[in-house]
Structure 1
């Protein structure tokens, strides 16, 4: 080939190559491009680019919403977000190169060439920035936003995700799935919460992507350049949250997506379950044995075998001939009944639920308007469309049948949707609140909306009494309606520890009421594993023992006398801690802070808490730190974060910022109390239906930090607290003034405790205690002083050390302010 011809060929080839590159950039992958128009209207900025439309809204001083789509933005709608933008002071300016938005908390710079976002602190530190050259872009209908991955960045949260606490180096998919006996690294599993928290350089931020299509999050998986989040359809829609403290990020996220209501008090007690208890005589046997063996309990749960051939809203008349009699007898024993409910309605002529559903036209449909049919436990089924008001209202009328016979709790299962084959067609159409959406868009919210329908229907049916609602599947915002448990786990040590991390991650993601199947659902635990799991269960929000079909019995008495004694000791402790636990749930209703708290919440920038060695440690409320170990461990290393810590069992003082090797036994779960903690406790009861004695014991642990605890009571069963019928007082520990202050009580309800006994841990012999009140009528009784006491359970392993001195003061529970000085 001659040189001119070769040169012409080379130029032609290069031109084709460049054209192909341009095609890759603008065709197969399409970015937003440069900004062409900006409109500023109050707290909102509307932006047009070469290839997209964007809308930036200041929701609050700490929350900014970003919406981007290839087409003009559709009408705003969300199943998750219930908050509206707050009136916020925001300074918004633009020039030829950028748009700047500044609030009292952060600054956002949107570059125009090309469109990209960078979030800063007010003093100019980068909190989060779009990855240069990538930003937000589309591959076909999938949209992704790419963020520059900061040095040493940790990623936590994302709801019910397996694996390590720190998500760095991994990718995740959100597509709610029925995953029986899932692996400890399996993804996805049952629920979707597309919210995570990034931590780097003493900064922390949250990102919530509100998009219900299948979504993907990448925290440096298969790349060393970016973190990213995106969805297989719909718009890019995310909320950026910045606060100096991680707890405030959770508070802002739950301000967006809502917070739980107070749960019924009984639901915080021990729950006994298996797949399945039947007939009713077996249920009575379980209930009677719990009472005979003095195992405190509040609930028994029935799995699918209570139904007539697995048909929802029916009873097997041979196994359960008189459901109302069953619930009444259980109530007399201080026990509530919870029933499993599945969404599938069997397609059977003569089955009233099916015929009523057809009559009211409430089932999800194919695109040709015929009802979708999938196979589940009863056989071929139709499925109510909970994404529309009509379907939810129909469910309300059906679920009332259970309330009418005295059932107290509803357990929503199989609501991913789960069907045999696990492959619902894409062309199934859902109402989606009147907008009509395919299965691709509606799948991830189906479980949320079923839980919503159950909650709303049952709340209405119970006439002002609080229902207990449990779900397996859900989406962001599920905490408004339901508790969640982590599905069909295995009776294995690594699953027990994974369960702890799942509860911690759900807590980071705005869900306080969480639990796992204690003892494992599949397989048979060893005695040691069962014992350890029951101990951990006592420090879980939802404490349910559950095992599957074709497994050995898993009640506390089924593993021998020693296991029974240890399990009973920790259940006893759980019941004595109910005032502390109930008050912790009240805190969750106010600010979204979870009951199970990853150490990342209060010790965010301590690098050691992200280590796989210590990632299973967690706080239970704001006072206890739990250190779980496997059933085979005889020694283990505990990391103590900053501050001083007390051993729960003997008050031994341990200084923080150190690792400490400890002996581990199956008789005792390592539990520690944070300095300056305030722990209210009551006398032991066998169920929450039983009244404790008239004395509330408040344990106070001497420390160097100020602390406060909001003690809370209400009637435990109604919504009257929403109208002021509660009893609340702040108990404050002031380390500088050396005072413990019981603030004036709030609310119209009188406390059920006539006396308050204050037990002071870690105080020296020469600490002289004085009591001052603003009420001349307050009676004070110093019943014991510097007396060896059993701080917690007088049985078994939960004892104070012999000779251990705890100062004890008993005083009348005045509603006025009371001050203890030392």
Structure 2
């Protein structure tokens, strides 16, 4: 979707509906364009995905409607670890349909993640993916509207108490051991989520799903980002070869967290990161729970003006970005590319 090529504003976490409203108004007050505001894991009721915290986000539709009135959108996180809790509809349905990954002994595999003890849906099962997709229907995902999109994080899959912080290699997906399908788990999560967004609109709307784990073919289902970076100059620098490499293997819609996820960037680093991120395909600012707030207008009028200018440059070039993404879709030609792709006969570009 064209809007997904605009600017995205995210942090872990915008605290509540009032916070969302105030950040949204901040962009208007400072005359900075943006298209998407994002909610991380704290928006859900006790980290139960497909729900809203009743105290912080009591009226999600009202919040989404306020954004829609300005033609803006929201992304909420939906991760593939499901809180083991008999009072939680999603867990009960997955259990009753027997869709969880299994241990060798046939019991459901369980591991520790954000909600605590969690089950992991078996996304290798087509029927599980179809059920997951159906959960994005407006009558299933309460409080969702057509301007709510999705972020799949932790889909490596992350298991805090597992070996190498992931699933045991002998956990079973049907007859397949996890060691054989680990790298495609994230692809299947994003595939099912994108399918859900397409279905909820009767096939009319194009989905937008950001994923952290991906595989060959993930480019068909949405965007990827380079994961948890830090507010360091080296991390800004390496975002460029990372996105170039991803483009070369067909995954063109990529970006890095602007400003760095961990730590607090210096003002100069933040401004430079905006100036770099505005020329990478996926353009999102994001920050860790423990960092100080860093909306683009919090660093003095001079720096606000520099950030405003580069975000506006991004918007001025949107038709060009859109054309490049279309060409990537048709031919696989990377959007962000090393010089040698365009000048293969000029050996000076090879270094």
Larger RCO, structure (CA 8 Å, separation 6 or more) = 2
Deviations 1:467-506 (A, max 9, x none): 1111000111111112100010011111011111111000
TM-score, reference length from structure 1: 0.41
Judge conservation of contact 1:362–1:394 (CA < 8 Å) in 2.
no
Select the residue among 321, 329, 339 that pairs with 1:581. 321
Q: What SS class does the counterpart of residue 363 from structure 1 fall into?
A: coil
Q: What residue is the counterpart of 2:132 in the other structure?
A: 395
Superposition deviation, residue 350 in structure 1: 1.5
Select the residue among 284, 288, 297 that pairs with 1:557. 297
Superposition deviation, residue 605 in structure 1: 4.9
Superposition deviation, residue 362 in structure 1: 0.7
CA distance in 2, matches of 1:609, 1:318: 56
CA distance in 2, matches of 1:371, 1:606: 57
Deviations 1:165-211 (A, max 9, x none): xxxxxxxxxxxxxxxxxxxxxxxxxxxxxxxxxxxxxxxxxxxxxxx
Deviations 1:367-417 (A, max 9, x none): 222110011010111111111101101211223344862143210000001
* Greater fraction of residues in strand: 1
Select the residue among 330, 352, 356 that pairs with 2:93. 356
**Is 1:268 aligned with 2:5?**
yes
**Is 1:451 aligned with 2:201?**
no
Q: What residue is the counterpart of 1:417 in the other structure?
A: 157
Judge conservation of contact 1:403–1:462 (CA < 8 Å) in 2.
no
Superposition deviation, residue 271 in structure 1: 0.7
Deviations 1:658-705 (A, max 9, x none): xxxxxxxxxxxxxxxxxxxxxxxxxxxxxxxxxxxxxxxxxxxxxxxx
CA distance in 2, matches of 1:391, 1:272: 32
CA distance in 1, matches of 2:87, 2:325: 45
- Give 5+ residue unaligned stretches, structure 1: 1-263, 612-822
- Specify the structure having the higher radius of gyration (Cα): 1
Structure 1: which 4+ aligned runs deviate by more than 6 Å?
Answer: none
* Greater fraction of residues in helix: 2
Q: What SS class does the counterpart of residue 337 from structure 2 fall into?
A: strand
**Is 1:514 aligned with 2:254?**
yes
Select the residue among 176, 180, 191 that pairs with 1:437. 176
Select the residue among 306, 311, 320 that pairs with 2:48. 311
CA distance in 1, matches of 2:279, 2:96: 47
Deviations 1:316-347 (A, max 9, x none): 00000011111110111221000111101111
Judge conservation of contact 2:45–2:53 (CA < 8 Å) in 1.
yes
Count of residue pairs brought into register by the alignment: 344
- Structure 1 vs Structure 2 CA RMSD: 1.3
TM-score, reference length from structure 2: 0.95
Q: What residue is the counterpart of 2:111 in the other structure?
A: 374
Select the residue among 216, 226, 230 that pairs with 1:490. 230
CA distance in 2, matches of 1:505, 1:414: 22
Judge conservation of contact 1:485–1:515 (CA < 8 Å) in 2.
yes
1:615-626 pair list within 5 angstroms: none
CA distance in 1, matches of 2:129, 2:306: 44
Superposition deviation, residue 536 in structure 1: 1.0
Select the residue among 408, 426, 441 that pairs with 2:169. 426
Judge conservation of contact 1:508–1:601 (CA < 8 Å) in 2.
no
1:625-664 pair list within 5 angstroms: none
**Is 1:535 aligned with 2:255?**
no
